[in-house]
Chain A
Amino acid sequence: MSNINRREFLKILGIGTFMGIGGWSMFEVVGKGEIEAFAEKYKKVPGALQAKRWAMVIDLKKLDQQIINDCTEVCHRIHNVPKILNPKEEIKWIWDEKFKNAFPELKDDYMSSEIKNMHVLVLCNHCENPPCVRVCPTKATFKRKDGIVMMDMHRCIGCRFCMAGCPYGARSFNWRDPKDYIKNENPEFPLRMRGVVEKCTFCYERLDRGLPPACVEASKGAIMYGDITDPNSEIRKILSSNFAIRRKAKLGTKPSVYYLL
């Protein structure tokens, strides 16, 4: 080593750093073909429905008891949601709520009882700024790139922080083994186990196969959905020409479910 002087040593060091920045060593080890093969391993279905941010508009004028029942029934049936009658233990992804409870901040002493008791379909709002995601210690609940607030049941430890965090009561906890409370299982969808939290998932499994959410399909036009970042989408057109409200908008969770009155 005696024939390397300080100057040469620095030169070698410089070349080494340069190669490192260029990422040459990476290509030598992995090879371009292998990188491409890796990226191709998992793919979306060609017809999958995609958006920058999914959102829904529910037209309360078009809702009637039949539609409310149909939407609830189809969602709970295809997602194997157990039917537990005890209200303290019941599991619901979408349900019928009175206006005064869905929009408590709009309640007024002189509001007509007709409006107070109007039926509203409520579900997870897939908030843009979801408190449930922020408090989940395991990332079992997280926001997908398309705005859907999702659950990974495999990771849920049942701590229920998310239920405390959600201001809309959109989440239910499985106090019992749900198996015993499902009559006809949908063989294509999994169940859940005792001790996990569940909620509406915006029918991710249908969107990923190119189908609209089941409640939208069953709603006879009362529920519309689409990409809210796309100014040409159906829901953006509706929102630009109608007065729409969101639940507890003041809290800053930025719900993606809008209601037309």
Chain B
Amino acid sequence: MYDGGKIIFGLIIFIALVTLPFTLGIGKEYIKANPKIDTPEIMKLPEAERKCVESKDFMRKEHMKMLIEWRDAVVRDGKTLYVNSQGKTFNMSLQNTCMQCHSNKSKFCDECHNYVKVKPYCWDCHLEPKENIKKEAGL
């Protein structure tokens, strides 16, 4: 084999580089996204009513598409009510419906969005629940 030493040396460097993301992570703590749904607003509901507008599984996968459909229905068609798969009706509003229960944006939305490194621009305009102010005022 011509230049065998050089090839093997090159291969070793190549493998080292390719596996860098894994080797760098060795010994580091693996932080899993852990969104919390135990807000006072949710906990004070009777247990049978502690349900989101759709199933947990659906919301986890589809909430972003759902919010976009809600936006178009409200802004374009003036339709503000959502009838869910169980026939229950909700006011379509991120600020006035979703965040009324999920008053813990930092421990709910941000938890997964940070984990998967996405930065949705909802909060450039929509008002976040005032988590810290509430705590400071003891409310």
B82 touches A41 (CB 8 A): yes
A190 touches B95 (CB 8 A): yes
A209 contacts across to B, CB distance below 8 A? 80
The verdict on A43 contacting chain B, using a C-beta distance below 8 Å, is yes
A40 to B73, CA, bound (A): 12
B74 contacts across to A, CB distance below 8 A? 208
Which chain A residue shows the least CB distance to B124?
A193
A110 to B77, CA, bound (A): 48
Which chain B residue shows the least CB distance to A46?
B81
The verdict on A4 contacting chain B, using a C-beta distance below 8 Å, is no
The verdict on B56 contacting chain A, using a C-beta distance below 8 Å, is no
Which chain B residue shows the least CB distance to A146?
B78
> Mask for A130-157, Cβ within 8 A of B = 1, else 0?
0000000000001011100010111000
A45 touches B124 (CB 8 A): no
A42 touches B125 (CB 8 A): no
The verdict on A191 contacting chain B, using a C-beta distance below 8 Å, is yes
B76 touches A142 (CB 8 A): yes
Of A42, A144, A191, which is within 8 A of B81 by CB? A42
A190 contacts across to B, CB distance below 8 A? 95, 125-127
> Mask for A163-202, Cβ within 8 A of B = 1, else 0?
0000000000000000000000101111111000000000
The verdict on B39 contacting chain A, using a C-beta distance below 8 Å, is no
The verdict on A48 contacting chain B, using a C-beta distance below 8 Å, is yes
A187 contacts across to B, CB distance below 8 A? 95, 127
Of A43, A145, A153, A154, which is within 8 A of B89 by CB? A43
A191 touches B77 (CB 8 A): no
A3 to B89, CA, bound (A): 59
A150 contacts across to B, CB distance below 8 A? 75-76
Of A142, A185, A193, A207, which is within 8 A of B127 by CB? A185
> Mask for A10-36, Cβ within 8 A of B = 1, else 0?
000000000000000000000000000
A44 touches B80 (CB 8 A): yes
A153 to B74, CA, bound (A): 13
The verdict on A204 contacting chain B, using a C-beta distance below 8 Å, is yes
B73 contacts across to A, CB distance below 8 A? 42
B127 contacts across to A, CB distance below 8 A? 185, 187, 190-191
Question: Of residues 220 to 248 in A, which have CB atoms within 8 Å of B's CB atoms?
Answer: none
B83 touches A40 (CB 8 A): yes
A50 to chain B, nearest CB (A): 8
Task: Kindly list 7 other residue pairs between chains A and B, CB separation below 8 angstroms, not including A43-B82, A207-B78.
Answer: A42-B83, A43-B79, A48-B80, A189-B95, A190-B127, A192-B125, A193-B121
Q: Report 8 cross-chain contacts, Cβ distance below 8 Å, ordered by A residue.
A: A40-B83, A41-B83, A44-B78, A48-B80, A154-B71, A191-B127, A207-B78, A209-B80
